[in-house]
Every structure is written in C-alpha cells, then in structure tokens.
A and B are shown apart, each in its own frame.
Chain A
Amino acid sequence: MDEAMTGMNEEVGLSFGADDSEPLGQTPGSASGAETPAKFVSRGVDVFYGAKQALFSIDIDIMPNEVTALIGPSGCGKSTFLRCLNRMNDIIDGCRFSGSIVLDGEDIYARAIDVVHLRARVGMVFQKPNPFPKSVYENVAYGPRIHGLASSTADMDEVVRTSLERAGLWEEVKDRLHEPGTGLSGGQQQRLCIARAIAVEPEVILMDEPCSALDPIATARIEELIDELRTNYTIVIVTHNVQQAARVSQRTAFFHLGKLIEFGDTDQIFTNPRAERTRDYITGRFG
C-alpha cells in the first residue's frame, strides 16, 4: 500500500499543489533585511548531466556571514547546486549549466571570469578529508604560494599559523608542522583541509558533507568551527544529517528531484515546514 501510494505521488506530482511550481518559503530577494545584499544570487539555474536534467530552475539568495544548509535525499541535486557555486561542475564531462549565479554583483559564469581565481574566492571542503601527501605546513602553504599571497617565509609562517588557528587546529599541530598531514586523525585532517581552504582568504566556503566521515566528537568540533567561521565567511554546507543542518545553519534549502522545494529560516523549516515533502523528509517519513 505504501509503495503504491509513493509511486502515485511521484507520478501525479501535482498532488503536492504549489510544491511543483514554486518553492515555498522565502522568495528570492526577500531574504531577511533588504538592506543586506545577498552574497550569491542564483536565478533559473538548470544543470544537465548529458540528457538528464539534474537541477530545475533554482532561485536562491545566499546571505553573507550566514550558514546556508542544503538538504535533501540522495540524488536531489544539492551537491550539484553546491558545485555550481564555484564551477566545480565544469570539470565534469557532459555537464551543462544554464541560468545565472551572481557573486557580489558579478556573474560567475561570464566568459571573463578566471575560474582559478573564483575557486580561491569560493573555497571548498569535501566529504572525505583529503590532505595532500605533504607536511601539515605545506598543506596550508600550498594555496597562498600559488596565488602569491605571501612574499616572504615569515609572511608564509604567519599565513599558516593564522589559518591553522582559525581552523582550531593550531594548538594540536604546532609542534608537528613538518610531519605529514595524512598522519593526523580524521577530524584533524578535516580541520587541516578547512585551514587549507581558509589560507587563500576566500569569501565563501562550500562544504560537501564535511562531517560524514567523522566521529561525533570530531563532528562537534567542526560544527563549532563552522559557527565561528561564519563571522568572517559565508558558508554553504551540504549535509545528509538533518539534525546537523538544524544545528549549524541559519537558513535551510530543501531539494527534491532537482527542484528547490522549500527555502527558509532554519528555525521555521525544522519546527513548522510549509511543504509536505520537506516535512516528510526531515521527520524521517520519506518514501
């Protein structure tokens, strides 16, 4: 019976009413306080992988110095959308983008955009900690070096130190800066990757499931760090863990089947979601 019902819902998607045409919640542009301009403005974003459409006309405003969480079941398009924000999808064969994403007034898909520079402004932290097979110091120094952000050794030492401090890792690694980064624990490695992302002075940090390979304590450390980083950076995080989205974010976007179903204040989404599908997903009724 359940499965039959589910099948029906998928087919007659219209039974969800407004869900299918317009996402519920905050309309883009109306996001809290008209006086603060959005960091990212996404309009009509469609993404195709070959013939398959992965995203359907996504409109979202991402506000500065906030944590925006993207949630939804596997294959809903949340990671695809995240990767649009620093054009990581460019490197995937057969991936086609249309629509616009504007970062501080500048269309990041414009021809004149230097993608390397964009990715320095919009850093990324991945699901599995992936430090380079080099020392802790070199992991952090690599980015600033290729972007020419430090002119002397003393400068570089300073960049490495502040980055590690901001990532909450300095105290734990200051005496082993020249040991391999891969020798750290999983949680430390992830904070090292965050330090590496911070070192090139980004404005935005994208995080794709940053805690899914970590134990609860390491997860708590990263979550605490995310909250601290928000003062200086705009953060967009993809997570499968709805409780984590509720804990760390100020705004939450729920994706389903490539569409944005609902976008709103995290407090509202998790206490009184407007769309039935959002509710079913976050309460564990999906399917």
Chain B
Amino acid sequence: MRETQHIVKSYDEELQSISTRIIEMGGLVEAQLADAIEAVVKRNAQLGAQTDQRDSQVDAMEREIDEAVVRLLARRQPMADDLRQVLAALKIVGILERCGDYAAHVGKRAVMLAQDRETPGIAVIGRMGKMVRDLIGDVLGAYARRDPELALSVWRRDQDLDQLYASFFRELLTAMAEDPKNINACMHLLFIAKNIERVGDFATNIAENVHFLVLGVLPAGKRPKAAKGDYSFEQ
C-alpha cells in the first residue's frame, strides 16, 4: 500500500473501502468453496445445500462493489495506479462472483452425490480442493498486500491443479468403463473436478489482475499449462 495519501481524504477512504470489500468477498468465496468441497468429501448434503444458498450473499456483494466502483469512476476520474486499482477491482469482483457460482455448483452436486453410491476417488476431490483453496487464498493475499510475486506464483502453480485434474479425469473414465453403475456418481465427480479446475483458472486471472494493478503490465509470456494429451482415455 502507498504511504502517500490523496489530498482529498474521502477518495482514499473510497478506494480503501473497495479493496476491503473485495477481500471480504474473497473470504466469503473461499469459505463457500471450502464448505462445498467438504460437503462432497464428507457426503454432507445439508452443507452442500447451504453453500448453494450462500451464493446470493456473494452476488449481493458483487453488485454492491460494482456500484461503488461506478460511483468512484464518475466522481473521481481515477488516474494511473488509482485507475488500475479500480479497473482491477471491477474485474476481480466479476471473477470472484463466478468462483462463487462454481462453488455453488459443487455444493449442488454434493447434495446429489450424497444420495448416490460411494465411489472411489472422492479423496482426489479433497486434494484438488486443498490446492484450489491455496491458490485462491494466496491470490487474495497477493491482492490484499499488493504482492506481484505471490500473484505470479499462483499464476504458475495452477498447472499442478490442471495436472491433477487430468489424471483424475482418466481415473474416472476407467472407473466408469469398469462398472457402468459408477457412471452417475463419476459424472458428478467429473463436473465437480472440472468446476474446481476452473476456479484454479480464475485464480490465475485474478493473479494477472493483481500483477497489472501493481506493475501496470500483465505477466510476461504464456501461462504454464498441463500438456494436451493428458485427457485421452488411452494414455
């Protein structure tokens, strides 16, 4: 955070308040995600349903922050790092809202999965969940502390989650091929894993915005990704 302050104090307060609320919203999404994953792993239908309901809270925060951003743009005409901060806020809020949606989807499927037969491999969801929560937690930390290095580390680490997703994908295909009775539950797990993997991608998008916010440029080069062939059944 900058030590120098705006001549107009309320401008500082408004910028600060947007930042604070984004961190709050991020915390809410983190908790929602954690609960959704726990609901899957522990087969807890009630917890799954709760995370789904909690999504409206995240949506409300998004609207609230968006409005604050629009007001600030109209009234202050931010420039330079202030401008980047406001633009990043607008984008990060949108991304967080979608993370919330995915957490809610996972919650919904946790409800259905809890009523289905037990399937092997559910532990992988726990591992993916841990990874994605670390990514989201770190990227929110990077945002809160304006730390581009930490943001870059999230940006790079997402490929581990991609790899885990790819191998889990193959595992599920095998399980379904072995016993068609697994198909229903495995499909749920597949979508859950896909949702978690997407949240990891969103974490990298937030990381890019943090990088831009602090340094004025996006991270250089292409984001490291898992190789394509990983998704074929034969391998």
Residues of A within 8 A of B (CB): 2, 5, 242-243, 246, 270-273, 278-280, 282-287
Contact, CB under 8 Å: A272 / B11: no
Asked if B82 and A283 make an inter-chain contact with CB atoms under 8 angstroms apart, the answer reads yes
Cα(A246)–Cα(B79), bound, Å: 9
B83 proximity list for chain A (CB < 8 A): 270-271
Q: Is B78 part of the binding interface, using a Cβ–Cβ cutoff of 8 Å?
A: yes
Q: Do B5 and A283 touch (CB < 8 A)?
A: no
Known: A271-B216, A284-B11. A2 touches B80 (CB 8 A): no
B208–chain A nearest beta-carbon distance, Å: 15
* Chain B interface residues (CB < 8 Å from chain A): 2-8, 11, 77-84, 216-217
9 shortest A-B CB distances, which residue pairs?
Answer: A272-B216, A282-B79, A285-B4, A283-B82, A279-B80, A284-B6, A283-B80, A283-B79, A273-B80
B79 to chain A: closest residue by CB: A282
Tell me the smallest distance from the CB of B108 to a CB of chain A, in Å: 41
* Chain B proximity of A278: nearest CB distance (Å): 8
Find chain B residues with CB under 8 A from A286 CB. 7
CB–CB A242/B216 < 8 A: no
Q: Which residues of A contact B7 (CB under 8 A)?
A: 284-287
The smallest C-beta distance from A265 to any residue of chain B, in angstroms, reads 13
B4 and A280 within 8 A (CB): yes
What are 7 residue pairs bridging A and B, where the CB atoms are less than 8 Å apart in the complex?
A243-B79, A271-B83, A279-B81, A283-B6, A283-B78, A283-B79, A286-B7
Write the chain B residue with the least CB distance to A273: B80
Chain B residues whose C-beta falls within 8 Å of the C-beta of A282 in the assembled complex: 79-80
Q: Which of A2, A272, A273, A279 contacts B5 (CB 8 A)?
A: A2
Residues of chain B within 8 A of A271, CB atoms compared:
80, 83-84, 216
User: Contact: A284 with B8, CB < 8 Å?
Assistant: yes
- The answer for the CA separation of A278 and B216 in the assembled complex, in Å, is 15
Query: In whole angstroms, how far apart are the Cα atoms of A280 and B84 in the complex?
Result: 14
Distance A280 CA – B82 CA, assembled complex (angstroms): 10
How far is it, in angstroms, between the C-alpha of A176 and the C-alpha of B11 when the chains are bound? 47
Name the CB-closest residue of A to B212: A272
Chain A residue at smallest Cβ distance from B5: A285
**For A273, what are the chain B residues with a Cβ–Cβ distance below 8 Å?**
80
Contacts of B2 in A (CB 8 A): 285
Given contacts A284-B6, A285-B7, contact A272 B79 (CB under 8 A): no
**Which residues on A sit within 8 Å (CB–CB) of B4?**
5, 280, 285
Chain B: CB-nearest residue to A243: B77
A283 touches B81 (CB 8 A): yes
